[in-house]
Copies of this chain bind each other. A is one copy, B any other.
Amino acid sequence: MEHETEEHAHAPEARPTSIKPDDTIYVGKKDIMSYVLAVVTQFNRGLSAVKVKARGRAIGRAVDVSQIVKNRFIPSLRLTNFDDATEELQSEDGSMSKVSSLTITMEK
């Protein structure tokens, strides 16, 4: 999910980017190595950049994923961007609550 800041006064449309939505791995509650494998697989498919994104308590796990990919699989990995944002989620009772998100861009 793109995070538009208020500074984009004249931004009529999204900027073209080399990273498509499919290139983003969403980190949740699954085993951490399944996300690591997903990232490594994307790089092995030929992508030069992959993103991991997480919300709330899973943010620490997204950082774990990037560290494990770098330390064990792709030593040349560079973390080129961190994008943090506040998102509004609807709770089960219908109320809105705010949650932080973090998207880490990795390039090799």
Contacts and interface: CB of A to CB of B under 8 A. Distances in A.
Interface of A: 54, 56-60, 63-64, 66-67, 71, 79, 82, 84-86, 98, 100-102, 104
Contacts of A59: 59-60, 63
Give the oligomeric copy count. 2
Contact of A67 (B57, B60, B84, B104): B84
A66 B84 contact: yes
Contacts of A100: 60, 63-64, 67
A63 B55 CA distance: 10
Contact of A60 (B60, B79, B85, B98): B60
A10 B92 CA distance: 55
Nearest to A81: B82
Nearest to A70: B86
Contacts of A71: 86
Contacts of A64: 100
Contacts of A86: 67, 71
